[in-house]
Each structure stands twice: as structure tokens, then as C-alpha cells.
Structure 1
Amino acid sequence: MSRPLTFQMMDTHAGGDVSRIVLGGITPLPGATVREQMHYLRDDADGLRQLLLFEPYGIPEMSVDLIVPATDPEAAAGYIIMEVMGYPIYSGSNTICTATAVLEAGILPKREGVQRFKLEAPAGLVSIEARVENGVVEAITCEGLPSYIDTHRASIHVPEVGDVTYSVAYSGGFYALVEAAELGFDLSRDEERALADCAHKIVEAIQAERGFSHYTLGDVGPLPFLHFMGPVERVGDDFYRSRSATYVHPGVICRSTTGTGTSARLALMHHEGRIRPGDRLETVSLRETGFIGTFTGTHREGEHQVVENTITGKGYVLGHTQVVVNGDDPLVACAGLTHILEDNRSDR
């Protein structure tokens, strides 16, 4: 590649989790749905994810969201989520950031007050409610995926950790849920490395012992995530708060509590009879940021009582960037990337 190619990006964060929103410069992807386009990106163009999550452009703690045209006429836009562990079909923090970017970039014009629209994720249509005040997107409320408890208070012996009691929820991915205090953690910022190391050992032990299957998706791979739960404090008639930390990859504790982690907590609290429809849970991260999950109802899916929920947070714009991809740079890996970059060279 003799001349560099460029594409446009908006960096955002929600709860501390940085999402890099790719707004332009990528060719249309094949696929009749956003889910199929995600599969193409994963199988034939993974270079975009690798470019933006690793040096010299990024770090593994970030996420990338590629905005694509929606295939469902009800949606204002589609988006594909990329993280260090791969291509999740849904993410709360990424959805909050993408919805914010759709409005801030003018893909959908902002309107004062409460604005409702839909996005198309690989998981399907997602209803969005944005609150805009004085031209600023102050809050995004998005649907969480239907969530349920697969396993309640099982026990496993983990080398170097001991016997661990855990539950497993599905909320967009399978989560192991553990009580932080039972493992000696207060969920303070200085415990971040120790939390990541402990979570990695527990996740490896669970993966080695068993697998999990979703009631419609089937086998979605080994359990990837672990959510440390702090004590639940009641701060109002229908409002609860709990410190939390979510492990997503070796060495990586999310800066936010994660939307899917919050949905998993709602599923567990419902399973244990501790919340009612209309109740809210604020999960608070090691960095004192938070998301608010609202338990909106339940329905039955086979043998599972599935929790319907929403997640509320705020997305912040960090910057607007034109990324230059220069194949002559020895630090830049262009394999699996150049064929999806628009040919925007000046000599065309």
C-alpha cells in the first residue's frame, strides 16, 4: 500500500469504558442482517478490530463499534461490537456510546427532551430512549437483553483460590457471579490487578469443568465473563446500589460495571426474590462510575424465567479522529483490513 488510507472515528466512553465509534471510511459489508455482517467482519476482516484495539492505535481495554446501515427499516442505524475477546452480539456500554454517537454525529438529528429510536445490533433491534438537554445527550436508556439464571450457587474448587461459590447468568453472554467479600475483596481501586488475576483463575476452572448452552442460541462458547458483587444497599423504596467489578479478558477489569453485568445482577436478584418489577439497581465501579438497571418484567422461555430490563447511563464524546492506516509502518498490521477500507486516496 503506497499511500495511506483513512477512516473517521469518534472516541466516546460510558462509565469509563472507551468505545471507538467508526463512522465512515469502511466499505459496505456483505450480509442480509447486521448479524451476518458481523460474521463477515469476524471471519474475513478482523484486521479492523485488531488495528484499533492494539498498539500503536489502542489498548485491549477499549472497544470498537462500527456503524453500518440498518437492515431493519425500524432502525436508525446498525452497529457491530468488537472487543478484545471477539464479537459480542450485545453490550450495554457500547450501545450507550453508539446511541450517543448516532445523535452527536448527526446520523439521527437531535431533538430536545426525550427522543426514542431503535438501533440494530447483532442481537437484533434495540429500543433507545435519549434525554437531550440544551443540545447535550444527558442520558441513554437502552434495552438489556432478556436475562436469566442458568446456575444458582454452585461450588467449584479453584487452584490457588480455594472453594468458590458462584451463580451463572446469561445477559448477552454467560457471566459467573461471585460475592466479592467471600473472596476477600472490598472492590476498591487498588484491588484491580488482584481482581483480574482471581477472576481469571475462577473462569479457567469453570471452563475446564463445564459448558453452557443458551435456550435459543445453543452453544455460544465457553463462559467468558465474571462479575464481582458487593453488598446490596437499599437507598430508596425501589432503588438499590451495589459496588461491582466485571472481568472480561485476562488482565482486564472493565472500567465500568458493564450493562450486561448489571442485567445479570437483576436476573440474580429476581431469582432470589429480592426485587420486584419497577425496582432499580445502580452498579458502581472501581472508578465510582455507575449504570442503573431497571427490572421491567418477566416472561417464560421454556424452563427459564427470563428478566426484562433496561440499562441507563451517559455517553461522553472524547474526540473526533481521522485514522491513518499506513501499510509501510512496521507497527501497523494491515492483513484483513485493506479490502474493507474505502479507496479515498487523493490520486483517484
Structure 2
Amino acid sequence: MQHQVKLELMDTHAGGDVSRIVTGGIMRLPGTSVRQQMEFLRDQADGLRRLLLEEPYGIPEMSVDLIVPASHPDADWGYIIMEVMGYPIYSGSNTICTATALLESGLIKKQEGVQTFTLEAPAGLVQIEARIQDGVVEAITCEGLPSYIHTYKASIEVPGIGPVTYSIAYSGGFYALVEAAELGFVLEASEERALADTAHAIVEAITAETEFEHYALGNVGPLPFLHFMGPVLQLSDTTYRSRSATYVHPGVICRSTTGTGTSARLALMQYEGLIEPGDSLETVSLRDTRFVGTYTGLANKQGQDVVENRITGRSFVLNRAEVIANEDDAMLSPEVVQSLRVLSTQRT
């Protein structure tokens, strides 16, 4: 008898980055918080992430978001983010996609005009503002995590490249921030492969020399992100624009500029005294898709000055699907099959 696992998905994208939203077929996970549920997936059932991001079902450039019941009484739903690098505790583009999927699936009922609700990420509660016109989700604004500069203008010798100047920001994950022009890039789509190769070498070099600790979370793992920064253009007294590209280790250049990448840029601009509360930065990707980050204020958390911010973008639904995984498919590793047996509520 053939044993199958069925998962209900809604594929979405924000700025070109595809997020596969798992809306059904997975059991309720153990844990008293979304963070604990994420840790269970990471440590006990990583096969779900691998199934949907690896051949033949997906590619590493995608992300996966599992919708789960919220554990916090103030949250409407929870969600767990899965990417090629593992399990980030927060992501702006994934949050925009998940919020859109919840509205489009009816799990959160749409309301015309500006609608607000709360989600629970592994990082904690996230306030969402959705702009809806004629039943269409036209924009999602979500809170970025409090962001800050950990290291400013350090230098490292990178094999095959030479000396590289970088800063380190935290915005939901640690980011190396580098000036694209100093490395010979203008941030066009034709440079994507070279950007990925360059970023890989820089991240490997930094990781070999340095570990980074968050002021509250401690060691959150090796450096996962690098953000290439284009020149900043001032459009008005309060608005700026910059071409940008975000790299996820290992090997992926995001289609969008990413929400956390945009938050990291805001942290650097604030650190350098270039923006004031209320100012916004529009980041523009290799594919000319855009997110807008707004600097809302400076706070002090446990002795660390942090930049509070919001990210605005738009997500589109690509398809609704039922994924069927056959347990005797040779393309599925034993680890993936075991994870699916543990997690699935729909097996035949």
C-alpha cells in the first residue's frame, strides 16, 4: 500500500521572493509558545522545511511559513519561518506574505479600508496593518524588529577579493552591510551570480574570525545574511531611496530587498545621523521591486539603543495547492519521511 502525506499550501510572493504558506495538513506542534514550536520543528522534524525547499518540490530560493495557532492571547495566529539557512525568528517579507495569506484564505476576515491585527512570530508579537480596497490586499505594513549596529566599519581580508570594509547590524538576524560600489557592483540583475559568490566569500571569512552575540538573545548562530548597499538618494526632506540586494547564506540572492535588510539599512542610517524619526527609505531590488522602511523612533532596551521601524510591501497570491508526498518516493530522504510521519494529520 502506498502511503501519502498531503499538505495544503498557498504560494505567495512579496517583491519576487516566494513564500510557501502551509495552511493545513500539519498537526498541532508541542510547545507553549510559537518560539518553542519552532524549536521543535528545528530539532525534531526539520524534514518539512527540507521537503518544501528541496527538489522535487521546491528550490532553496523559496521560503516556507507554517501557520500555527497563536499561544499569546493578544495574537490572532502564529507562524514559523523556514529558509535555506534554517529558522529565522523574524522576516519582513515572510510576515507580509503570511498576513496576506491569512486574509486571502479567510482565516482572518477581510475588512475594507485599514485593518489591524496581531501575529505571533518566533520573535514575539507583530502588529500588522493591512490596506484593503474593493476586497484586494493592496499593502501590508508590519513592525520590524528593534534593530541596531553591532560593529561599525570593520575590515577583513577576503580570499580572492582583498580587503573588505563592513558593518554588522541586527534586525532579526545579523547582517553584514557592505557598499556595493566598493566591490565593483551597480546592483543590476545581470550581477546576481557574482553578487552571490562575492557574498559567500565575505560571509565565510567573517564567520571564520568572529562570532556575534545579541544583547538579549546571546549567541544566535553564525552570520546568515549580507546586504549590498547602493548609493542613497534623497527624494525629499523625509524620504530616501537606495538600490539594494540581500544575500542568504549559503548561496541565495533574494528577489526582494527583504524587510530585515531594509531594517538593517535604517539602523545604519540612524547610526550615521542621516535620518530622523518619521523618515523613510525605499529599497529597490535587482528586479526593481520595492519595500519601504520607516524609522519610527529610538528606544533603549537593556542598555542597547535600538531603532524601531516599520516595513511596508505588497504580496500576491500565486496559487493554492495540495502537495502530495509519497513516502516510498526515492527522492525523499529517510529523515524527511520520518518528519512527515510525525507531523502529518493527512495520511492515506
- Matches for 1:198-213 after TM superposition, within 5 Å: 198-213=198-213
Distance, in Å, in 2 between the alignment partners of 1:272 and 1:88 is 27
- Conservation of the 8 A alpha-carbon contact between 2:291 and 2:312: yes
Q: Which amino acid aligns with 1:316?
A: F
Offset of 1:55 from its aligned partner?
Answer: 0.5
Asked whether 1:341 is paired with 2:344, we answer yes
- Conservation of the 8 A alpha-carbon contact between 1:46 and 1:337: no
Offset of 1:5 from its aligned partner?
Answer: 2.2
Q: Which amino acid aligns with 1:232?
A: V
Offset of 1:303 from its aligned partner?
Answer: 4.4
- Conservation of the 8 A alpha-carbon contact between 1:149 and 1:304: no
Query: Unpaired runs of 5+ in structure 1?
Result: none
Distance, in Å, in 1 between the alignment partners of 2:48 and 2:143 is 27
Asked whether 1:159 is paired with 2:159, we answer yes
Query: Unpaired runs of 5+ in structure 2?
Result: none
Equivalent residue of 1:335, what SS?
helix
The alignment covers a number of residue pairs equal to 345
Distance, in Å, in 2 between the alignment partners of 1:303 and 1:201 is 33
Distance, in Å, in 2 between the alignment partners of 1:100 and 1:92 is 12
Q: Which amino acid aligns with 1:187?
A: L
- Conservation of the 8 A alpha-carbon contact between 1:146 and 1:309: yes
Distance, in Å, in 1 between the alignment partners of 2:63 and 2:27 is 20
Q: 1:344 to 1:327 in 2, by over 3 A?
A: closer
Equivalent residue of 1:177, what SS?
strand
Distance, in Å, in 1 between the alignment partners of 2:167 and 2:253 is 19
- Conservation of the 8 A alpha-carbon contact between 1:266 and 1:307: yes
Who is 2:104 aligned against? Answer: 104
Equivalent residue of 1:337, what SS?
helix
- Conservation of the 8 A alpha-carbon contact between 1:297 and 1:309: yes
| Residues 254-294 of structure 1: per-residue CA shift (max 9 Å, x gap) | 01001000000000000000000000000000000010000
Distance, in Å, in 2 between the alignment partners of 1:242 and 1:221 is 29
TM-score (norm: length of structure 1): 0.98
Equivalent residue of 2:129, what SS?
strand
Offset of 1:250 from its aligned partner?
Answer: 2.5
Equivalent residue of 2:338, what SS?
coil
- Matches for 1:122-271 after TM superposition, within 5 Å: 122-271=122-271
Offset of 1:304 from its aligned partner?
Answer: 2.5
- Conservation of the 8 A alpha-carbon contact between 2:166 and 2:177: yes
% of aligned pairs identical?
Answer: 70
TM-score (norm: length of structure 2): 0.98
Asked whether 1:84 is paired with 2:84, we answer yes
- Conservation of the 8 A alpha-carbon contact between 1:197 and 1:250: no
- Conservation of the 8 A alpha-carbon contact between 2:298 and 2:305: yes
Offset of 1:207 from its aligned partner?
Answer: 0.6
Distance, in Å, in 2 between the alignment partners of 1:255 and 1:193 is 12
Offset of 1:237 from its aligned partner?
Answer: 1.9
Offset of 1:113 from its aligned partner?
Answer: 0.2
- Conservation of the 8 A alpha-carbon contact between 1:15 and 1:314: yes
Distance, in Å, in 2 between the alignment partners of 1:7 and 1:202 is 38
Distance, in Å, in 2 between the alignment partners of 1:316 and 1:122 is 24
Distance, in Å, in 1 between the alignment partners of 2:307 and 2:317 is 31
Offset of 1:302 from its aligned partner?
Answer: 4.1
Asked whether 1:13 is paired with 2:10, we answer no
Runs of 4 or more above 3 Å deviation:
none
